[in-house]
């Protein structure tokens, strides 16, 4: 019997005589907060696999090994860059505009002292516990967010960007661009002071990736043959839709960590309750996104487009990310549904203006990210104008700096593969191997 379970359980808690009400001990709070960062962080880490599969499924077979390599490389590089300078720039001694430029972010002295002590004395434990959570657990949780922002870029620019310039861009993004703007809010900088609210990063993570992708797409240009003369569009269907579906499910799975872990604590009944609410809102928004995209593509095109329904799930997730703490879950259905509607409508619009976004990262992460951030000003606790100001500030900063980096790369080492490489596929030229060497060709 499911519901009426709690009695036996609570009885054992009652032996605890002491005072009238039994709260959580400080050390337990520390452990739970830390463990929440680790468990939720691991879920977010797995989103790297989700992006890799989504993108592997939506590119053509001849570029699949290259997109796999880019995905594992970007996750790696983002983590290293964030260790070397990113975290410090984002969180340490943040002024209005950015944190400290310092190399490496290491465990706190108090924690090392406790780990190295002969005996865990009261004083040593207390010194550690005071910080609320382990420093490295927070680093880990923040690091996986950087990687997410970087993942967004690879999907848009797939099938034509060279590997190494892409890696360099990701390095700059993770070491400098992302941390600086994130310090404005999560580091306690000027935008936070202004009251801007972004729970888990519709703007700070998803739109940032989206702006970087958009500027990249403009500077890199479309895939050859995508846009014909006279406005005709030549779709280039993804080679492996089950992998794209798997990727979407993995992202959805990881998103519980993304949004839930952004409660940043688990050490009190309040935090646990809030995290549960976040999980529910996250799921409902994504579900609403799928159903909306199904209905819309059926209505507009007469057939359901699986790739757009997958985008719908992700647009729902991105939309709810800025405010997954809505107290009425019904609102999250609205937020997710509107986000998916925007994504479904923007996909063909981008093609109209010849912005070639292979996997739909711009509609999903940038457009739905903006919507989600504004939604906090509509349904949530934020102010609409402050939200708008934050969106614009981050957008301008990321677009300008990204453009500078893309242009610098373009006019030095070049960012685009040759025409022949593009035609034959990046796999053969940049990697020297094929993703599916055998299919249809058992030789």
Partner 1 sequence: MKLIMAIIKPPKLDSVKEALSELGQSGMTVTEVRGYGRQRGQTAIYRGAEYAVSFVPKIKIEVAVDDGDAERVIEAISKAAHTGSIGDGKLFIFDLQGSIRIRTGESGVSAL
Q: Hey, which residues between 235 and 254 contact partner 1 (CB under 8 A)?
A: 235-237
- Considering the complex, state which of residue 320 and residue 359 has its C-beta at the smaller distance from partner 1: 359
CA 397 to chain centre: 19
Burial class from Cβ neighbours inside 10 Å (0-12, 13-18, 19+) for residue 113 reads middle
d(CA 300, CA 341): 12
Instruction: Please tell me whether residue 311 binds a copy of itself under the rule CB under 8 A.
Output: no
Ranges within 333-352 binding partner 1 (CB under 8 A): 344, 347-348, 351
Query: Could you say which of 234, 330, 353, 411 contacts partner 1 (CB under 8 A)?
Result: 234
- Considering the complex, state which of residue 167 and residue 219 has its C-beta at the smaller distance from a copy of itself: 167
Q: How far is the CB of 302 from partner 1 (least distance, A)?
A: 8
Query: Could you say which of 158, 205, 220, 286 contacts a copy of itself (CB under 8 A)?
Result: 286
H helices of 234-305, in order, are: 241-260, 269-301
- Considering the complex, state which of residue 111 and residue 351 has its C-beta at the smaller distance from a copy of itself: 111
Q: How far is the CB of 21 from a copy of itself (least distance, A)?
A: 5
Ranges within 245-264 binding a copy of itself (CB under 8 A): 245-246, 248-250, 252-253, 256-257, 260, 262, 264
- For residue 347, the surrounding DSSP H or E stretch is helix 329-352
Measured in residues, the chain has a length of 443
Q: What backbone phi and psi angles, to 5 degrees, belong to 51? A: -60, -40
Ranges within 56-75 binding a copy of itself (CB under 8 A): 56-57, 60-62, 64-65, 68-69, 71-73, 75
Instruction: Please tell me whether residue 240 binds a copy of itself under the rule CB under 8 A.
Output: yes
Ranges within 99-158 binding partner 1 (CB under 8 A): none
Ranges within 358-387 binding partner 1 (CB under 8 A): 360
Ranges within 212-231 binding partner 1 (CB under 8 A): 225
Helix (H), strand (E), coil (C) string for 383-411: CHHHHHHHHHHHHHHHHHHHHHHHHHHHC
Q: Which does 388 bind (CB under 5 to 8 A by kind): partner 1, a copy of itself, none?
A: none
Radius of gyration of the chain (CA): 23
Ranges within 169-198 binding partner 1 (CB under 8 A): none
- Considering the complex, state which of residue 180 and residue 358 has its C-beta at the smaller distance from partner 1: 358
Q: Which residues does 316 contact at the CB level (< 8 Å), separation at least 6?
A: 285, 286, 287, 288, 289, 290, 292, 335, 336, 337, 339, 340, 368
Burial 351-363 (b: 16+ CB within 10 A, else e): beeebbbbbbbbb
What are the tokens at 327? 């107290």
Ranges within 164-223 binding a copy of itself (CB under 8 A): 167, 185-188, 192
d(CA 302, CA 415): 39
Q: Work out whether the CA dihedral 361, 366, 367, 369 comes out positive or negative.
A: positive
Q: Which does 419 bind (CB under 5 to 8 A by kind): a copy of itself, partner 1, none?
A: none
Helix, strand, or coil (residue 161): strand
d(CA 407, CA 416): 12
- Considering the complex, state which of residue 214 and residue 333 has its C-beta at the smaller distance from a copy of itself: 333
d(CA 220, CA 150): 17
Q: How far is the CB of 214 from a copy of itself (least distance, A)?
A: 25
- Considering the complex, state which of residue 162 and residue 214 has its C-beta at the smaller distance from a copy of itself: 162
Q: How far is the CB of 51 from partner 1 (least distance, A)?
A: 18
- Considering the complex, state which of residue 181 and residue 297 has its C-beta at the smaller distance from partner 1: 297
57, 244 in Cβ contact below 8 A? yes
Task: Give contact residues for partner 1 (rule: CB under 8 A).
Answer: 225, 233-237, 297, 300-303, 305, 307-308, 344, 347-348, 351, 360, 423-424, 428-429, 432-434, 440-443
């Amino acid at each position: 019997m499911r519901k009426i379970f709690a009695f036996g359980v609570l009885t054992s808690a009652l032996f605890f005589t002491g005072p009238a009400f039994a709260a959580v001990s400080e050390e337990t709070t520390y452990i739970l907060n830390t463990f929440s960062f680790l468990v939720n962080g691991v879920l977010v880490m797995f989103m790297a696999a989700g992006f890799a599969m989504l993108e592997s499924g939506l590119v053509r077979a001849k570029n699949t090994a290259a997109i796999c390599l880019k995905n594992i490389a970007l996750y790696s590089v983002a983590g290293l860059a964030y260790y070397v300078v990113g975290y410090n720039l984002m969180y340490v001694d943040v002024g209005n505009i950015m944190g400290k430029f310092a190399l490496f972010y290491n465990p706190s002295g108090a924690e090392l002292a406790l780990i190295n002590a002969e005996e865990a004395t009261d004083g040593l434990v207390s010194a550690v516990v005071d910080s609320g959570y382990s420093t490295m657990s927070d680093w880990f949780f923040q690091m996986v967010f950087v990687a997410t922002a970087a993942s967004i870029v690879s999907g848009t620019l797939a099938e034509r960007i060279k590997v190494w310039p892409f890696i360099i861009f990701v390095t700059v993004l993770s070491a400098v661009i992302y941390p600086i703007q994130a310090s404005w809010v999560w580091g306690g900088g000027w935008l936070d002071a202004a009251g801007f609210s972004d729970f888990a990063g519709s703007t700070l993570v998803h739109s940032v990736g989206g702006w970087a992708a958009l500027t990249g797409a403009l500077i890199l240009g479309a895939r050859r043959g995508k846009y014909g003369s006279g406005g005709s569009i030549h779709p280039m269907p993804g080679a492996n839709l089950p992998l794209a579906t798997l990727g979407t499910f993995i992202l959805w799975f990881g998103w519980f960590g993304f949004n839930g872990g952004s409660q940043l604590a688990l050490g009190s009944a309040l935090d646990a309750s809030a995290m549960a609410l976040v999980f529910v809102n996250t799921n409902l928004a994504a579900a609403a996104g799928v159903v909306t995209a199904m209905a819309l593509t059926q209505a507009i095109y007469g057939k359901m487009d699986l790739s757009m329904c997958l985008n719908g799930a992700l647009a729902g997730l991105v939309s709810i990310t800025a405010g997954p703490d809505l107290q009425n879950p019904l609102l999250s259905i609205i937020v997710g549904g509107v986000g998916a509607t925007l994504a479904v409508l923007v996909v063909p619009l981008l093609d109209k203006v010849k912005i070639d976004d292979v996997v739909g990262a711009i509609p999903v992460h940038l457009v739905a990210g903006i919507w989600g951030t504004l939604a906090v000003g509509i349904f949530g606790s934020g102010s609409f104008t402050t939200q708008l100001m934050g969106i614009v500030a981050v957008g301008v900063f990321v677009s300008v700096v990204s453009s500078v980096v893309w242009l610098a790369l373009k006019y030095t080492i070049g960012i685009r593969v040759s025409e022949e490489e593009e035609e034959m596929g990046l796999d053969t030229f940049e990697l020297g191997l094929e993703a599916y060497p055998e299919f249809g060709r058992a030789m």
